Structures are given as structure tokens and as C-alpha cells.
């Protein structure tokens, strides 16, 4: 009876060739799988029942409501969420909260008929300041002036003459923000044509990655990042998602820059004041709707490992023997390792885990473990067709910062809504900054007399995985399966068509 225990993969055309025992085994597995799916559905219904069903309340009649197509700009702190996109096994996603608010406010009837698209799908822990969605929502501008009648239960479409109208419209952001959690906020909305899509009409996306300077040599990282600009095959700098049909890994990076932020620059980093410490690794300026980035300053003094002697006696050693100037210089050097840095990368589209993979390699270069040229070599897929094994950088510092579209959108900002959002973010900033200041003072007290504090752990903690005792260069490590072998694997499973 051993053949009953083997896992039988069955397709419709193979059922007639199975034995009775194999059919029984297949049916039993289907019953078990069906039971699991029912549990998932029941759990999701339990999570959503408090907002999708309101006993005693009259059901909203969407057939009498005209609709319009709009874009909505969102920000969210994704640290405590399982990603942006809805998932079967959890309700802790940005999209779940968003559609909960959309349905509860009766702006839409159901997702399936809302003409919904999203600009990007951020992963677990990733935040956004410039996430954009496109969707059909209820409007109050065109009473009895619809250009079409209700068809198959759908809402009537809106009059083409009000596509750009905003005066007197529903306050979409204010409505949503009353129902969204504080970590998710609608910033602005814009009128849009019915066929405009937040996904397909987006021409470039800007991501930012924040990290402490630590013991990193920033200039080495900038030199390496120059190789990223342009169109390349990034199969060695991403996670290949062949199982979902992605077999083309050529992407175009428009610009990369690194900025060392002071306290004031951190507050102004999005306001156009670049500051003296901004370094551009490279850029491509295109004639259509691409922001011209200007390089300000040729370089920034990099923070290599502080040249200090080893503290072999007690916490009282070192500073007592230094002159006042030396003590001052040493304090400044130790403070510099806590400078916050910002990598900004602009591209038309990005691959799965592409930026986090890039950051891993840049960190290794900044730490002096790899040469800046390693990025150019990883992009040379003819000579290096297989990705070396390495872990991705942390997702927490990553932010989908901006999205740009083919045509100019008429964003509608409400002053009271923006002030409301700022107050929420100020509360979040206060709690996080208080914790940061408290921890930094503890570090200062403990390390006041120890000369071998180099800040290496400030960036090591962003590199996930177990650190080996001896470092193995990237190009000498074991390699992942090649793209061709992955394609062949999923083709045999009939997951993709070649």
C-alpha cells in the first residue's frame, strides 16, 4: 500500500488514469484542504463582521449613487503590518484596513467592481509616504446626470463633464481618516479619467532607505552605487520570483543618491534644501516628466573606523590622557557615527526585494568587506549568471516615498486634514525620539571612557542572518540556482508557460 502514501499530483486530464486507491487518497486530501480553507474564511469573516454587517441599519442603495474615478495618496508606517497587500491568513495588512474603511464609509460597494489599482506592493514592515491607489468611489456631484444607467447591479457611471471637478465633492481623505488607524492616513485625492491606473500609468517610483552612518565609508558606497544607474539585469540583486511568472529581470534605475543628514537636514530632507553633505552616485535625466537632480558638492568626508587604541584596562582609561582638543575631536567623531543617512533610488519599476538586496551589498562595501566594483560584476550576468547567497537588509528603514505619473494630477489637499495628520505623526515622533534619546544617553554613559567604540553594530544589526566568524567574499560564496534552472523547474510543475 506504499503507493497510497506517495504524494500524487493530479490534473483534470489525469483523473481517469488513477487507481481506486489513488482516487480515494486524492479525495481525502481535497477534503482536508477544503476544511483548512473554510477555517481561513471563517476567521476572516470573524475579523470583518463588526464593520461589514450592521444589524438594524438600512442597507446603502448604491444603485442610486453616481461614481467617479479618483487617485488617493496614502502614507503609512508599515512596521507593525504584514505588508500592503491583502492576505488570506491575516487581517494585519494595509489593504485590509483600507478596504474596511472604504466599505464602512460606503464609498464603494465591493472591491471586485471598484476598478482598483495600487502603485506598489510593499512587503512586510515597509512604510510609504507616496503610495497611490486608483479606484471608483461614490460622488455627490452629478445627481441625476449620469451618462449611463445601472447595468447588472453596478453603480451608474459619472458624467464626463465632471471628471476634473472638485468643488463641493465629498471630503474623501477626511472620511477615510476617521475610520483608518493612526498609522495609515489618506493625504490627498485627485480626479482621474476612468482608464487611468495608479499601477500602469506610473512612470517612476522613488524609494528611500534610512540608516546610521556607523563605521561605514560613505564615499565607497557612493562609488559603488554609480554602477546601478541605467538599465541592467538585476537577477543577482533581487529575489527571483519565477514561480509567479517573472522571468525578465531587466530594470532601469534613473538615479541614486546618498545623503548624510544632520538634525536640521532630516527635517528638511523632502523640502528641496539638499544640504552640503548630499552625494549623487549617478542619474539619468530624461525629457519626459523626470525630475532633474542636481549634484551639490563633490564629496562628503567619510566616516571610516575611528583610529582609536584598544581599551584594555577600565572605563577610566583614555580620556584623562588626552588634551582638550583631542577630547573634543574624539567626542565629535563618536557623535558622527550616529548621523542618520538616506539613500534615495529612483526607477521606473523594481523587482521583489531589489532595494534590500542592493543595501546589503552597499553595507558590505561601506564596511570595507567588498570592493565598490563588486556591484558592476554582479550586474554582469554573462560572467556571473548565478546569485551568490547572502541575506537581505532589514525592511524597517525602507519607504516608498513618491510616485510620478504620465499626466499631471490635480491633487486636492485639505488644510485641516494635513494638520490632523501632522499631529498624529508628531505623537509618533515624540514617543520614538524619547526612546532614542534615552538609549543614546545610556550608550554615552557606558562608553564614555572606552576608546574602541566604532559603531559597527549600528549597521550590522540591519544585516539579517547569522554572521560567520570569518567573512567570505560575495563572489566566492555558494551560488543560488540559475534563472534557467528555476524556469525549467516551474515549467515542469506547469506553474508558468515558457
Per-residue pLDDT, 59: 81
CA distance 208 to 340: 12
Of residues 23 and 101, more confidence is placed in 101
Which percentage of the chain shows pLDDT scores above 70? 74
pLDDT, average across residues 77-92: 93
Per-residue pLDDT, 225: 96
Tell me which residue of 403, 299, 294, 298 sits closest to 348, measured CA to CA: 403
Check pLDDT > 60 for residue 136: yes
pLDDT, average across residues 358-379: 96
Per-residue pLDDT, 172: 97
DSSP secondary structure code for residue 133 in this structure: E
pTM summary value: 0.78
Please enumerate in sequence order all residues whose Cβ is within 8 A of that of 191, keeping only pairs 6 or more positions apart, or say none: 68, 69, 70, 163, 164, 165, 166, 410
Check pLDDT > 60 for residue 322: no
Per-residue pLDDT, 316: 39
Check pLDDT > 80 for residue 186: yes
Of residues 11 and 379, more confidence is placed in 379
Check pLDDT > 50 for residue 351: yes
Among the listed ranges 138-142, 164-168, 314-318, which one has the minimum average pLDDT value? 314-318
Check pLDDT > 60 for residue 161: no
For every residue of 434-480, DSSP letters joined together read HHHHHHHHHHHHHTTT-TT---HHHHHTTB-SPPPSS---GGGS-BP
123 catalytically annotated: yes
pLDDT, average across residues 339-365: 96
Per-residue pLDDT, 152: 43
∠ Cα 88 89 91 (to 5°):
85
Tell me which residue of 204, 217, 253 sits closest to 371, measured CA to CA: 217
Q: How confident is the model at residue 253 (pLDDT cuts 50, 70, 90)?
A: very high
Check pLDDT > 70 for residue 97: yes
The beta strands (E) that lie in 89-153 are given as 117-118, 127-138
C-alpha cell at 217: 565609508
Catalytic hit among 123, 159, 233, 339? 123
Of residues 440 and 48, more confidence is placed in 440
Let me know if 59 is exposed, middle or buried by CB neighbors in 10 A (0-12, 13-18, 19+): exposed
Check pLDDT > 50 for residue 48: no
First CA to last CA across the chain, in angstroms? 37
Check pLDDT > 70 for residue 50: no
For residue range 414-473, what is the model confidence (pLDDT) as tens digits? 999 999 999 999 999 999 999 999 999 998 888 766 667 778 899 999 998 888 889 999
For residue range 201-244, what is the model confidence (pLDDT) as tens digits? 999 999 999 999 999 999 999 999 999 999 999 999 999 988 88
Cell 548565478 appears where?
Answer: 386
CA distance 439 to 416: 35
Check pLDDT > 50 for residue 151: no
Check pLDDT > 80 for residue 16: no
Check pLDDT > 70 for residue 254: yes
Check pLDDT > 50 for residue 292: no
Please enumerate in sequence order all residues whose Cβ is within 8 A of that of 406, keeping only pairs 6 or more positions apart, or say none: 201, 203, 289
Phi, psi torsion values for 202, nearest 5 degrees: -80, 125
pLDDT, average across residues 67-91: 94
CB neighbours of residue 411 within 10 Å = 15
Per-residue pLDDT, 294: 34
Tell me the average pLDDT of the chain. Answer: 80
Per-residue pLDDT, 306: 40
Per-residue pLDDT, 125: 96
Per-residue pLDDT, 230: 96
Q: Are strands 398-405 and 127-138 parallel, antiparallel or unpaired?
A: parallel
Amino acid at each position: 500500500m506504499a503507493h497510497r502514501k506517495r504524494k500524487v499530483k493530479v490534473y483534470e486530464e489525469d483523473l481517469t488514469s488513477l487507481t481506486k486507491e489513488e482516487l480515494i487518497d486524492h479525495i481525502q486530501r481535497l477534503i482536508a484542504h477544503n476544511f483548512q480553507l473554510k477555517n481561513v474564511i471563517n476567521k476572516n469573516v470573524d475579523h470583518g463582521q463588526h464593520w461589514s454587517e450592521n444589524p438594524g441599519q438600512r442597507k446603502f442603495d448604491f444603485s442610486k449613487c453616481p461614481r467617479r474615478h479618483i487617485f488617493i495618496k496614502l502614507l503609512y508606517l508599515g512596521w507593525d503590518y504584514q505588508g500592503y497587500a491583502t492576505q488570506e491568513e491575516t487581517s494585519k495588512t494595509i489593504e485590509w484596513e483600507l478596504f474596511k474603511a472604504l466599505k464602512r464609509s460606503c464609498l464603494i460597494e465591493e472591491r471586485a467592481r471598484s476598478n482598483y489599482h495600487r502603485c506598489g506592493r510593499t512587503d512586510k514592515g515597509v512604510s510609504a509616504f507616496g503610495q497611490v491607489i486608483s479606484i471608483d468611489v461614490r460622488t455627490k456631484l452629478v445627481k441625476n446626470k449620469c451618462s449611463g444607467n445601472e447595468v447588472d447591479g453596478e453603480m451608474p457611471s459619472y458624467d464626463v463633464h465632471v471628471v476634473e471637478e472638485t468643488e463641493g465633492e465629498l471630503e474623501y481623505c477626511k472620511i477615510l481618516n476617521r475610520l483608518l488607524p493612526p498609522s495609515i492616513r489618506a493625504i490627498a485625492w485627485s480626479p482621474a479619467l476612468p482608464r487611468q491606473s495608479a499601477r500602469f500609468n506610473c512612470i517612476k517610483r522613488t524609494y528611500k532607505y534610512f540608516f546610521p552612518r556607523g563605521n561605514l565609508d560613505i564615499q565607497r558606497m557612493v562609488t559603488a552605487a554609480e554602477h546601478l544607474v541605467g538599465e541592467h539585469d538585476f537577477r543577482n540583486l533581487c529575489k527571483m520570483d519565477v514561480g509567479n511568472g517573472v522571468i525578465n529581470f531587466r530594470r532601469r534605475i534613473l538615479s541614486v543618491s546618498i545623503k548624510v543628514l544632520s538634525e536640521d537636514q532630516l527635517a528638511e530632507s523632502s523640502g528641496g534644501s539638499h544640504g552640503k553633505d548630499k552625494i549623487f552616485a549617478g542619474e539619468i535625466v530624461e525629457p519626459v516628466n523626470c525630475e532633474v537632480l542636481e549634484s551639490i558638492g563633490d564629496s562628503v568626508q567619510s566616516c571610516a573606523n575611528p583610529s582609536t587604541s584598544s581599551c584594555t584596562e577600565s572605563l577610566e582609561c583614555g580620556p584623562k590622557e588626552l588634551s582638550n582638543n583631542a577630547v573634543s575631536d574624539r567626542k565629535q567623531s563618536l557623535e558622527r557615527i550616529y548621523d542618520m543617512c538616506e539613500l534615495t533610488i529612483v526607477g521606473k519599476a523594481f523587482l521583489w526585494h531589489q532595494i534590500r538586496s542592493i543595501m546589503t551589498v552597499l553595507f558590505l562595501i561601506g564596511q570595507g568587506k567588498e570592493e565598490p566594483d563588486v556591484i558592476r560584476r554582479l550586474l554582469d550576468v554573462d560572467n556571473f549568471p548565478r546569485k551568490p547567497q547572502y541575506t537581505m537588509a532589514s525592511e524597517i528603514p525602507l519607504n516608498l516615498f513618491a510616485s510620478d505619473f504620465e499626466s499631471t494630477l490635480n491633487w486636492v489637499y485639505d488644510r485641516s486634514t494635513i494638520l490632523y495628520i501632522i499631529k498624529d505623526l508628531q505623537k509618533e515622533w515624540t514617543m520614538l525620539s524619547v526612546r532614542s534619546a534615552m538609549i543614546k544617553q545610556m550608550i554615552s554613559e557606558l562608553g564614555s571612557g572606552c576608546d574602541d567604540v566604532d559603531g559597527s553594530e549600528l549597521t550590522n544589526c540591519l544585516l539579517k542572518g547569522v554572521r560567520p566568524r570569518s567573512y567570505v567574499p560575495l563572489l566566492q560564496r555558494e551560488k543560488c540556482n540559475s534563472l534557467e534552472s528555476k524556469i525549467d523547474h516551474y515549467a515542469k510543475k506547469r506553474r508558468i508557460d515558457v
